[in-house]
Chain A
Amino acid sequence: MITLTWLYVLAGAVFAAFALTSAIDRTNAKRFGNAAFWGLLAISFFFGDALGDLGNGVLVLVMVGIAGFHLLGRGNPPTTDLAEREILSERLGNRLFLPALVIPVTAFAGTLLFNYTPLTDAGLIEPRWVTLILLGIGVLIALGVCMAWLKPPVLAPIEEGRRLMDSIGWAALLPQMLAALGAVFALAGVGEVIGGIAGSVIPQGSVFLAVLVYALGMALFTMIMGNAFAAFPVMLAAIGVPILIVADGANPAVIGAVGMLAGFCGTLMTPMAANFNIVPAALLELKDQYGVIRAQVGTAIPLLACNIAILYFASFL
């Protein structure tokens, strides 16, 4: 059975290759910083389960140190310039889209195949990770197609991948770090304290205010944690269940679904949701690291108002 571990080995190999090519890139004054950073990430993917919690913790702190003390630079691997790309693009035509589409199409067809055919029970792929593993398979197929068709230098995929990886830099690690922060917050009891505050600010007897505090609490706590999943159990325990569902008789399906979506409005407005908001800014090489958030606030706030209205009117139908 193909498991998540296979994918980790693949990712480890990719990061190890980034580390090795970084180490010999003399165009980057901080090349050893880059080599160490991507090398440690490769170690995490290869051996993370064997390092133990404390070992992983030390690894994380060293990586944070490398990024935090500006030891991470940007390599300039050899690539084509804009004029060459215009010519290549004309020559290769729309066929260039095909390899790019291999990845989503593999994920699409594979997911359908594994969910709706007898393959579901064949035990080929670890069920929990089907889409992610199919993404990995799609990458390998697309890479094979590109190498066979375009015949680039053997190291080109690694060098081109490293070019993009270096433009993302430390931001690549932020989503994992924030997940770790969320775990520490949970251990220290931050959720209970916030839930206690939210539960105590509700005035007696007003259903609308209870709905308002529940939805705004979901959005705000999600902004703090960067993740609606962490906020949901806390707000449900503080307000959703005792006040809205039990005391006021609200429909639990609405409270659950729309409460979560109120949290997603918060996700649109916080740098803590780094993989959605900060990483794309780096990936698109925006000057303003909060540019994506700025583009989203205008959708998030009216949508939060809609969610409050849906909660108020649909919960008591």
Chain B
Amino acid sequence: MSDYWVLLGIALVVVGFALKFNPLLVVAVAAIATGLLGGLNPLAVVAALGKAFNDNRYVSIVWIVLPVIGLLERYGLQQRARAAIERMRGATVGRLLIAYLAFRQILAALGLTSVAGHAQTVRPLVAPMAEAAALKTHGPLDESSIERVKAMAAATDNVGLFFGEDIFVAIASILLIQGVMSGYGIALTPLQISVWAIPTAVCAFVIHAARLMLFDSRLGRARR
């Protein structure tokens, strides 16, 4: 089947990412290869790439928060976030991140997805707080443990966002489900769909919260 050749682009992406080539280069090469194998002429491929890039500029808007975050870091915001945790009794990484998970899931379920995020809240507040909480309860940690604490802060933001937002009726993915289903003559209201996001949201909270507690206790054992 000659059709299967278009899948070569996927293989290029997997191999390129695995070999740690520059991802931008990998993606551009995969896009051009896929387009050519799919029977488009080279100029049409470049044009398709350009159109999609232009249509998706809104994805990069979030970087306009960097001047504010950078400015606050200049005046000691991260140090302040650490100090606040150090003074708080009973603050541990596990408890702190579970609280953030709940906060993120609830806000996302209310449709407030841009309120928090990696640039807005994780880098300036959540990651330094988590690091401070880990150092406070477990004493000095090696570099790889601190890396894992920060990575877990970012992971918690993602889990909270992904498995909270679909409970909100007007989010893009619910509207997409409704739209695609109606294409098959299946009429669903957004509310009918979004209530079925609740069981998964509960599972996500339970699983990730349990992992955070486990992570916290293992961090204690891995201490130097």
Interface residues, chain A, with chain B CB atoms under 8 Å away: 4, 7-8, 10-11, 14-15, 41, 44-45, 48-49, 51-61, 63-64, 67-68, 70, 79-80, 82, 85-90, 92-94, 96-97, 99-100, 103-104, 107-108, 111, 115, 129, 131-132, 134-136, 139, 142-143, 146, 150, 152, 156-165, 168, 170-185, 187-190, 193-194, 196, 224, 228-229, 232-233, 236, 241, 245, 252-254, 256-258, 260-261, 264, 267-268, 271-272, 274-281, 283-284, 286-289, 291-292, 294-296, 298-299, 302-303, 306-307, 310, 314
Instruction: Give chain B nearest CB distance to A30 CB in angstroms.
Output: 14
Q: Which residues of B contact A174 (CB under 8 A)?
A: 23-24, 27
Q: Are the CB atoms of B31 and A284 closer together than 8 Å?
A: no
Q: Contact between A131 and B25 (Cβ–Cβ < 8 Å)?
A: no
B176:A286 contact, CB within 8 angstroms: no
List 9 additional A-B contacts (Cβ < 8 Å) besides A70-B22, A184-B52: A44-B54, A54-B46, A57-B46, A88-B76, A111-B111, A132-B114, A139-B68, A152-B74, A245-B186
Q: How far does the alpha carbon of A108 sit from the alpha carbon of B116 in the complex, in Å?
A: 10
9 pairs, A vs B, C-beta closer than 8 Å: A7-B64, A86-B79, A89-B77, A152-B71, A177-B24, A183-B51, A188-B38, A236-B184, A295-B152
Check if B115 is an interface residue, CB within 8 A of chain A. yes
Interface of A is mostly: helix
Q: List, in ascending order, chain A residues with CB within 8 A of B71's CB.
A: 143, 146, 150, 152, 156-157, 160-161
Closest A residue by C-beta to B36: A188
B interface majority secondary structure: helix
Q: CA separation between A243 and B86, bound complex, in Å?
A: 56
Q: How far is the CB of B34 from chain A (nearest CB, A)?
A: 5
Size class of B's contact patch?
Answer: 35 or more
User: In the complex where A85-B75, A85-B76, A188-B38 touch, is A136 in contact with B64 (Cβ < 8 A)?
Assistant: yes
